[in-house]
């Protein structure tokens, strides 16, 4: 029965009945071409009359024209397919309208025109993603014949890739062309043309043609292309090899002979690649090993050892686990559950429909009142009580649901279903039934609104796993494997990546071969994440050996995006060390480098002999640095492997040809002098240059063990001066502005183009000439262009590794200024500076990295800083919290809060007060406001250093106070606890943090569950609310007190105590109350509909520690985020949204939600129960404070806040 107005797709062609096919085509063309020539264009297409219309057609962009086709595209395509002349003339119209320029085109030109691609784009828009293309290759050939073009010409046009093919979405275009009727026959007929396209030309061209060949031709049809496929699979381009690999797998035995020919007759790199591919086949491994061992090239002979290691792993591997069966399916939902679900879902859908319909009505009225074209939109259907009744009946049925093609508006049901799923215990059966019956699986393959619904179901229903959901979808007639994998493999908001392994592994195990093939097939699809397969296989306890071998090729390969995920997926493989050690002898330096870096992370003592042997024979400086990293990680002393006596000779040899072009800006003669710590002798400048050049070649801002060792040999003050000089020089080069004349020209162009618009009626400079407006704009634009950087110093970011190894406190402030000023324009450089800071041996550098990770304007910087801080903590053997505790700068003040400032013969004293202001005293003990000008009897140089130290101390105190206040508040929210010993040493006794700790009330609990509350006093002792002394029990855990931990009477006593002693709490710690909520709720909507001005909301959110959320389409953002770094949680106050640049407009709060931070910038929604109760309560109070800045709840909030 039709549910909620759903109908099956009608297969009858438009134009049947009273209207003839010709009339239907004419009407459809008229609607399509109305904005592009109208009736004149239609007459030309159908009759060929009035060709002069082509010169008068308005131009538009390539991507815009086909999207205007709408539902008439099918009718037009049906008419075009039957008449080559009509098709060719329609192509001329498309070319005249949208064929200009190069941007956006993937295919080449045909006789100087773009019509074939435009027609094909129009046809794919008509077909959508579920129906066959309405035009065939032969239709295009027949149309091209009018210009004397042949089938070969048309194929050559398809193989002549355009600029846009360099983008992933451009390459996906070739996959979409694969079903073109007649294309496979053309490929077979012109085999030499295909062979040439696969083996020659640009990398992008070969990738695209291989993608087309793999998608269009079946396995048997690939055999004639085996030599070309093998040539691509063994060539020098890793991208082309990856594109050819799935075709090679499909060729099976047909690929063996061509591979053997290359293995014995190709160049060394081709032979290596061919032997590696043959060695992956058990039946060819023996031949591959013997052939590799006998090869004349050493780089090829190393393949034999790698294949032997793989064979040993195969021998140790047992039988593959049997494939799991699909679970049995029972479709009936209990009556009570069905009624409850329907009562939630239908009203939610109707509410969204009402809001949408109201918005459409207002927009239509606005368009008509302004004389604008009205875009007709169908209203969303209302379901009402009949919908509830129908839905209950469907849910209670024992029958599997039937998939329907969704009506035009039914995708909007997803919002209602999502709302219901977030607030209802919706089981897997009910969820799948609802999604199927609401048309979720009848449209675009990658739309997948169901992902969040299934995520909610998994969160609320224990035991829900992907294989169970696949069984439900399969039983409903949906390809569950394809639907779920496409959701899992999405780049954004993927499904199930954060689920436990046991809920994903059965699905992966059952579908593994298909998943591998699908990953290769969709590598060019921009929505699909190629790294998803590694996450999936990592859920398997014992992946099949054939998959493991495939992953090792990626883990030790040249594709950086695959390398890390592949290595992570292989973390549990017992043969990992042996396989990686074998790669140390590889002929490619990049492979050796990757192997050494991986062995550093593996840190297996079994690799030590091989690493030492590799060190003795390695000649590449970059690889040697990675090898020494691995050796020192395993306990070796760098001094045992490096000989400083030979340093000068090595440096002179390395710089014999001068500095590389990437560091040509570095003036060695201008470098500050630096000396050896042991002898005091000056370090030759050529040695410093060699360290810089080696670091630049490593292309990393993180210093390797070689660089760190040599840095340790240098005198401290000199090396820190050198680091500051190098950082300043690098920044100077990176920010070197464009020449003044070029800046003036750019500013003039900008001013002229803006003036043309701004002098129109109603604009800012109405009534002025363009020249007058240009002259008015120019002074404001020129300063920005004068400071615009001319280029970038990212190619020489390795210099920052030298800064990291040598630097101290002086490199922190300029790095922070750069990050604050240039974060939005020079992200790569900013992240390189963060990586540098994570290696600088200075507390202020570490604290800057931590502060960026917790509070910064750009999410990508926060993620990068958090990753770097976690790695630093791991290097030191600490947790992230311990790193933050133990690296707090003291601004120069010793434990008793004193900073001595010497002037030579006399000394001033700075002492910290409880409020962290400075009490400055002269040598006689008299108070002074600032340090005086030195006397003649003072040491001027020492006095200048003291004055500088005091200025730096004051600035650092402010920064430390701000950061530690935020960190202690986060500790309150997350209910972090310290051991009594750590709390005393790193907090209470710290000269700066101790002052903040004394402004808070604390709770100590012992092993028996006993608890006591206390506050530290200025003398270091502890007191309770009644002024009695407190001693911390041995083994106690200490945390910040909160209303949720204290009885109401205790809260009142401590509030009075703090007031009596005039102690200003560090933040509002007690008295805000405790808010409780449904632990299953996905968000808190207590303040939904509370209106407030957007500027007031921004101001309050900022003061509470929230930052603007992610910017979405058209510059809109819809939330303010507070990041809790140690928990990896983001609290988000959602509102109706504002756009950038912001304007002060009325907005309304929506909900308070919580999200888990995942790798690669992803998030997973959390329920209230997933979040510490104190954090929920504090953030709820934050939202209440934001809401209080407005007049309160407004029943018309949705209408009043629409834009």
Band (pLDDT 50/70/90 cuts) for residue 362 is confident
For the segment 427-454, the average pLDDT, to the nearest whole number, is 68
For residue 175, what pLDDT is reported? 73
Cα gap 390→433, rounded to integer Å? 13
- State both tokens at 736: 């070197």
Q: Is 1035 exposed, middle or buried (0-12, 13-18, 19+ CB in 10 A)?
A: exposed
Read off the pLDDT of residues 1152-1162 as tens digits, 9 standing for 90 and up: 999 988 776 67
Q: Is the pLDDT of residue 1 over 90?
A: no
| pLDDT digits 0-9 by tens, 665-680 | 999 999 999 999 988 9
More confident: 20 or 733:
733
Per-residue pLDDT band for 376 (boundaries 50, 70, 90) equals low
**What pLDDT does 400 receive?**
84
**Band of the pLDDT at 18, cuts 50, 70, 90?**
very low
Q: Is the pLDDT of residue 10 over 70?
A: no
Residues 808-818, mean pLDDT to the nearest whole number: 94
Q: Which residue has the higher pLDDT, 492 or 1144?
A: 1144
pLDDT at residue 320, rounded to an integer: 61
For position 168, what pLDDT does the model report?
Answer: 55
Across the range 112-137, mean pLDDT stands at 80
Measured between alpha carbons, how far is residue 62 from residues 80, 133, 167, 302 in Å?
Answer: 20, 20, 16, 51
Q: Which residue blocks in 476-523 are alpha helix, DSSP H?
A: 480-488, 505-521
- Residue 409: the pLDDT is 45
Residue 1089 tokens read as 């509909």
| Rounded percentage of the chain residues whose pLDDT exceeds 70 | 89
Vertex 335: Cα angle to 334 and 337 (nearest 5): 70
For residue 405, the model assigns a pLDDT of 54
Q: Angle 376-377-381 (CA atoms, 0-180°, nearest 5)? A: 145
pLDDT interval class at 312 (50, 70, 90)? low
Q: Which residues, listed in sequence order, are joined to residue 1130 by a DSSP beta bridge?
A: 1123, 1155
What proportion of the chain, given as a percentage, has pLDDT over 90? 46
Residues near 610 by Cβ (< 8 Å), separated by ≥ 6? 581, 584
CA 455 to chain centroid, in Å, comes to 20
Which of the four pLDDT bands, split at 50, 70 and 90, describes residue 523?
low
Q: Which residue has the tokens 């493991």?
A: 548
Lookup: tokens for 764: 């800012």
- Which pLDDT belongs to residue 419? 58
- 3-state SS class at 26: helix
What integer is the mean pLDDT of 197-222?
88
Confidence of residue 819 (pLDDT cuts 50, 70, 90): very high
Whether residue 142 is predicted with pLDDT greater than 50 in this model: the reply is yes
What is the arithmetic mean of pLDDT over 948-975?
91
pTM value?
Answer: 0.74
pLDDT at 207 over 70: yes
In this prediction, residue 6 has a pLDDT band, given cuts at 50, 70 and 90, of: very low
Q: What is the pLDDT of residue 712?
A: 93
Quick check: 459 pLDDT over 80?
no
Are the beta carbons of 184 and 217 closer than 8 angstroms? yes
Residue with the bigger pLDDT between 926 and 416: it is 926
Is 80 exceeded by the pLDDT of residue 173? no
**What pLDDT, on the 0 to 100 scale, is given for residue 651?**
87
pLDDT of residue 264: 93
Question: How many of the other CB atoms lie within 10 Å of CB of 305?
Answer: 19
Query: Above 70 in pLDDT, residue 455?
Result: yes
Over range 928-936, report the average pLDDT: 93
3-state secondary structure 384-396: HHHHHHHHHHHHH
* pLDDT tens-digit series, residues 152-172: 999 998 888 876 666 655 666
Phi, psi of 1027 (to 5 degrees): 70, 20
The three-state secondary structure class of 511 is helix
- Residue-averaged pLDDT of the chain: 86
Q: What is the pLDDT, as a whole number, of residue 937?
A: 94
**What pLDDT was estimated at residue 448?**
47
pLDDT tens digits, 44-96: 888 888 888 888 887 766 555 544 444 567 777 777 777 889 889 988 988 88
Whole-angstrom distance, CA of residue 64 vs CA of residue 83 = 26
Q: Is the confidence at residue 341, as pLDDT, over 60?
A: yes
Identify the band that residue 234 occupies on the pLDDT scale cut at 50, 70 and 90.
very high
Helix (H, G, I), strand (E, B) or coil at 266: coil
Between residues 367 and 554, the one the model is more confident about: 554
Task: Taking the CA atoms of 1139, 1083, 1132 and 861 in sequence, report the sign of the dihedral they define.
Answer: negative
**pLDDT class of 344 with cuts at 50, 70, 90:** confident
Whole-angstrom Cα distance, residue 1099 to residue 1095? 6
- 17 pLDDT more than 50: no
* pLDDT in the model for residue 317: 53
- At 407 the pLDDT is 47
Average pLDDT of span 226-243:
89
CA angle 520, 526, 527 (to 5 degrees): 95
Q: What are phi and psi of 1120, to 5 degrees?
A: -120, 130
Distance, in Å, from the CA atom of 107 to the CA atom of 99, rounded to the nearest integer, reads 12
Which pLDDT does position 101 carry in this prediction? 67
CB 124 within 8 A of CB 176: yes
Query: In sequence order, what DSSP letters do the residues of 157-208 get, joined into one string?
Result: HHHS--GGGGSHHHHHHHHHHTT-TTHHHHHHHTHHHHHHHHHSS-HHHHHH
Model confidence at 8: pLDDT above 50: no
């Amino acid at each position: 029965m039709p549910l909620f107005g759903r109908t099956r797709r009608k297969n009858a062609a438009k134009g049947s009945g009273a209207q003839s096919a010709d009339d239907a085509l004419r009407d459809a063309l008229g609607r399509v071409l109305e904005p592009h020539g109208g009736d004149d264009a239609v007459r030309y297409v159908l009759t060929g009359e009035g060709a002069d219309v082509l010169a008068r057609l308005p131009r538009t962009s390539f991507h815009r024209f086909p999207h205007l086709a709408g539902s008439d595209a099918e009718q037009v395509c049906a008419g075009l397919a039957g008449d080559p002349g009509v098709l060719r003339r329609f192509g001329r119209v498309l070319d005249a309208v949208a064929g200009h320029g190069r941007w956006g085109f993937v295919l080449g030109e045909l006789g100087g025109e773009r019509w074939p691609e435009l027609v094909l784009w129009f046809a794919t828009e008509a077909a959508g993603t579920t129906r066959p293309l309405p035009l065939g290759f032969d239709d295009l050939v027949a149309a091209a014949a009018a210009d004397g073009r042949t089938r070969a010409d048309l194929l050559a046009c398809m193989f002549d890739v355009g600029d846009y093919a360099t983008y992933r979405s451009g390459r996906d275009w070739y996959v979409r062309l694969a079903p073109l009727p007649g294309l496979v026959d053309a490929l077979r007929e012109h085999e030499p043309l295909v062979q040439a396209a696969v083996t020659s030309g640009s990398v992008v061209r070969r990738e695209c043609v291989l993608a087309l060949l793999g998608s269009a031709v079946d396995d048997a049809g690939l055999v004639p292309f085996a030599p070309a496929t093998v040539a691509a699979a063994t060539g020098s381009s890793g991208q082309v090899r990856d594109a050819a690999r799935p075709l090679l797998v499909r060729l099976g035995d047909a690929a063996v002979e061509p591979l053997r020919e290359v293995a014995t007759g190709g160049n060394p790199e081709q032979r290596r690649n061919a032997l590696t591919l043959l060695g992956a086949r058990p039946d060819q491994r023996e031949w591959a090993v013997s052939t590799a061992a006998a090869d004349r090239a050493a780089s090829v002979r190393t393949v034999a050892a790698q294949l032997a290691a793989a064979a040993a792993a195969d021998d140790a591997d047992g039988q593959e686990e049997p494939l799991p069966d699909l679970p049995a399916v029972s479709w009936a939902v209990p009556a009570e559950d069905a009624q409850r679900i329907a009562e939630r879902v239908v009203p939610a859908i109707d509410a969204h429909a009402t809001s949408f319909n109201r918005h459409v009505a207002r927009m239509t009225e606005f368009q008509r009142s302004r004389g604008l074209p009205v875009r007709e939109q169908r209203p969303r259907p209302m379901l009402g009580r009949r919908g509830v009744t129908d839905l209950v009946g469907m849910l209670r049925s024992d029958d599997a649901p039937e998939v329907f093609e969704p009506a035009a508006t039914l995708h909007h049901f997803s919002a209602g279903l999502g709302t219901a799923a977030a607030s209802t215990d919706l089981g897997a059966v009910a969820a799948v039934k609802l999604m199927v019956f609401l048309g979720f699986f009848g449209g675009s393959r990658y739309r997948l609104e169901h992902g969040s619904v299934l995520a909610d179901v998994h969160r609320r229903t224990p035991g829900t796993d992907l294989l169970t959901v696949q069984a439900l979808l399969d039983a409903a007639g949906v390809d569950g494997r394809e639907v779920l994998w496409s959701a899992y493999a999405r780049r954004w908001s993927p499904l199930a990546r954060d689920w436990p392994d046991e809920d994903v592994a059965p699905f992966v195990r059952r579908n593994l071969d298909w998943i591998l093939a699908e990953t290769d097939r969709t590598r060019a699809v921009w929505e699909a994440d190629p790294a998803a397969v590694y996450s999936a296989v990592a859920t398997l306890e014992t992946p099949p050996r054939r998959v493991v071998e495939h992953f090792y090729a990626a883990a030790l390969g040249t594709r950086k995006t695959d390398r890390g995920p592949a290595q992570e997926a292989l973390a549990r493989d017992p043969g990992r060390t042996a396989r990686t050690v074998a790669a140390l002898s590889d002929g490619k330096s990049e492979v050796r480098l990757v192997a050494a870096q991986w062995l550093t992370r593996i840190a297996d003592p079994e690799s030590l002999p091989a690493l030492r042997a590799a060190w003795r024979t390695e000649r590449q400086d970059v690889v040697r640095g990675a090898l020494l990293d691995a050796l020192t990680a395993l306990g070796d002393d760098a001094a045992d492997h490096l000989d400083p006596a030979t340093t000068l000779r090595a440096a002179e040899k390395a710089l014999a040809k001068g500095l590389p072009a990437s560091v040509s800006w570095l003036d060695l003669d201008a470098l500050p002098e630096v000396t050896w710590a042991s002898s005091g002798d000056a370090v030759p400048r050529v040695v410093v240059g060699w360290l810089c050049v080696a670091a630049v070649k490593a292309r990393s801002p993180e210093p390797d063990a070689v660089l760190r060792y040599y840095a340790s040999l240098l005198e401290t003050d000199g090396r820190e001066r050198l680091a500051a000089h190098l950082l300043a020089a690098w920044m100077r080069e990176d920010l070197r502005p464009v020449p003044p004349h070029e800046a003036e020209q750019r500013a003039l162009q900008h001013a002229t183009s803006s003036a043309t618009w701004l002098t129109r009626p109603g604009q800012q400079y109405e009534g002025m000439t363009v020249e007058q407006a240009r002259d008015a704009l120019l002074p404001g634009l020129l300063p920005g262009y004068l400071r615009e950087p001319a280029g970038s110093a990212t190619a020489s970011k390795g210099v920052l590794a030298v800064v990291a190894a040598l630097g101290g406190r002086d490199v922190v402030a300029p790095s922070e200024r750069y990050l604050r000023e240039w974060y939005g324009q020079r992200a790569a450089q900013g992240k390189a500076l963060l990586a540098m800071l994570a290696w600088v041996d200075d507390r202020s550098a570490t604290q800057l990295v931590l502060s960026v990770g917790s509070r910064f304007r750009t999410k990508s910087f926060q993620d990068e800083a958090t990753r770097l801080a976690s790695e630093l903590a791991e290097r030191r053997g600490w947790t992230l919290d311990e790193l933050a505790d133990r690296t707090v700068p003291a601004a120069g003040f010793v434990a008793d809060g004193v900073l001595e400032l010497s002037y030579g013969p006399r000394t001033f004293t700075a002492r910290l007060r409880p409020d962290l202001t400075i009490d400055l005293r002269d040598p006689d003990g008299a108070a002074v406001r600032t340090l005086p000008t030195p006397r003649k009897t003072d040491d001027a140089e020492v006095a200048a250093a003291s004055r500088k130290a005091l200025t730096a101390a004051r600035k650092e105190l402010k920064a430390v106070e701000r950061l530690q206040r935020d960190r202690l508040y986060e500790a309150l929210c997350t209910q972090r606890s310290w051991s009594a010993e750590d709390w005393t040493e790193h907090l209470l006794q710290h000269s700066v943090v101790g002052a903040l700790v004394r402004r808070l009330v604390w709770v100590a609990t012992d092993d028996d569950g006993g608890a006591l509350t206390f506050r530290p006093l200025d003398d270091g002792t502890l007191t309770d609310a009644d002024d009695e002394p407190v001693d911390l029990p041995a083994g106690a855990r200490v945390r910040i007190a909160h209303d949720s931990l204290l009885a109401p009477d205790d809260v009142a006593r401590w509030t009075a105590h703090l007031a009596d002693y005039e102690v200003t709490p560090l933040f509002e710690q007690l008295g805000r109350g405790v808010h409780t909520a449904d632990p299953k709720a996905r968000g808190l909507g207590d303040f939904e509909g509370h209106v407030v001005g957007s500027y007031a909301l921004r101001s309050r959110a900022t003061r509470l520690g929230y930052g603007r959320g992610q910017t979405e389409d058209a510059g809109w953002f819809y939330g303010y985020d507070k990041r809790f770094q140690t928990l990896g949680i983001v609290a988000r106050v959602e509102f109706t949204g504002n756009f950038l640049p912001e304007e002060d407009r009325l907005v309304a709060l929506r909900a308070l939600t919580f999200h888990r931070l995942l790798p690669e910038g992803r998030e997973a929604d959390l329920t209230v129960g997933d979040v510490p109760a104190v954090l929920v309560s504090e953030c709820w109070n934050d939202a209440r404070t934001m809401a209080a800045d407005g007049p309160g709840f407004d029943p018309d909030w949705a209408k009043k806040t629409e834009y």
